C-alpha cells in the first residue's frame, strides 16, 4: 500500500476547490484535479474512494475549519446579545477571508450531494450557537422557537451579505455591518427583553 502524504492530500483539496469554484461540481473531473495538483490520477484514490467521497470529505473539512475559526476563543459566559453578535461577526469575517471556502460550500449545499450528508452531523457544527439560543430562551431573552428557525433569521442572512460582498453588489462599512448585527438580534429577541443577562 502506498503511503499517504499530507502535502499531496492538501494539494488535491486545494486543486479541487479551485477547479470546482471555476467550472462547477459536475464539470470537474478527477483527471483535471490530478493535473492541477501535480499528482497522478491514481494518487487521488489513496485518499478518496471516488469523486463523491472527495467532495463529501472536502465539504466536511471546510465546515470543520469554519467551525474552528468561528467558535475558537468564544466565551460562553458573556452577555447573550454580545455573544450572539461576536459569533455572527466572526462568521462574516471568516468567509470574507476565505471566499473560496464559501463558494465551494454554496455549490455543494445547493447540489443533490447535500442529501447524503448526515443532518445531525451538519447541525453539530452549530452546537455553540444552538447552546447560546437555548440559554437565551431560558432567560426569556430569545423567542421560544426551534433553533433551526432562529438560525434562518440570523446566520443565513449574514451569509447572504457575504455573497453580496463577493459579487461586488454591496460592501458594508463597519457601522453598517454593526447595524446589521443589531437587526439580526432584533429578529430573535423577545419584545419585552430589557438589558443583557449572562446566566
Per-residue pLDDT at 192: 67
Cell 434562518 belongs to 152
Question: pLDDT by residue (tens digit) across 134-186?
Answer: 999 999 999 999 999 999 999 999 999 999 998 888 888 889 999 999 999 99
Task: Quote the mean pLDDT of the chain.
Answer: 91
Q: Which residues make up the CATH 1.10.10.60 domain(s) of the chain?
A: 1-48
Per-residue pLDDT at 72: 85
> Which triple of cell numbers denotes residue 190?
423577545
Q: What is the pTM of this model?
A: 0.85
Cβ proximity of 44 and 35 under 8 Å: no
Return the number of other C-beta atoms located less than 10 Å from residue 163's C-beta.
15
- DSSP state string for 71-123: HTT--TTS-HHHHHHHHHHHHHHHHHH-HHHHHHHHHHHTSGGGGGS-HHHHH
Q: Which residues make up the CATH 1.10.357.10 domain(s) of the chain?
A: 55-188
CATH number of the 1-48 domain: 1.10.10.60
Cβ proximity of 187 and 153 under 8 Å: yes
Does the domain at 55-188 match CATH 1.10.357.10? Answer given as yes
Amino acid at each position: 500500500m502506498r503511503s499517504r502524504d499530507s502535502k499531496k492530500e492538501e494539494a488535491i483539496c486545494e486543486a479541487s476547490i479551485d477547479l470546482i469554484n471555476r467550472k462547477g461540481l459536475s464539470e470537474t473531473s478527477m483527471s483535471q484535479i490530478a493535473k492541477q495538483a501535480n499528482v497522478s490520477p491514481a494518487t487521488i484514490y489513496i485518499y478518496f474512494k471516488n469523486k463523491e467521497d472527495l467532495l463529501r470529505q472536502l465539504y466536511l473539512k471546510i465546515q470543520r475549519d469554519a467551525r474552528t475559526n468561528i467558535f475558537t476563543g468564544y466565551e460562553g459566559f458573556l452577555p447573550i446579545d454580545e455573544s450572539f453578535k461576536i459569533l455572527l461577526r466572526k462568521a462574516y469575517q471568516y468567509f470574507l477571508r476565505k471566499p473560496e471556502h464559501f463558494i465551494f460550500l454554496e455549490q455543494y449545499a445547493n447540489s443533490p450531494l447535500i442529501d447524503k450528508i448526515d443532518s445531525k452531523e451538519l447541525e453539530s457544527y452549530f452546537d455553540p450557537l444552538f447552546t447560546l439560543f437555548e440559554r437565551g430562551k431560558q432567560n426569556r431573552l430569545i423567542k421560544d422557537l426551534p433553533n433551526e428557525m432562529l438560525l434562518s433569521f440570523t446566520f443565513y442572512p449574514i451569509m447572504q451579505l457575504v455573497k453580496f460582498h463577493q459579487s461586488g453588489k454591496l460592501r458594508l462599512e463597519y457601522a453598517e455591518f454593526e447595524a446589521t448585527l443589531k437587526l439580526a438580534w432584533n429578529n430573535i429577541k423577545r419584545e419585552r427583553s430589557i438589558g443583557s443577562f449572562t446566566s
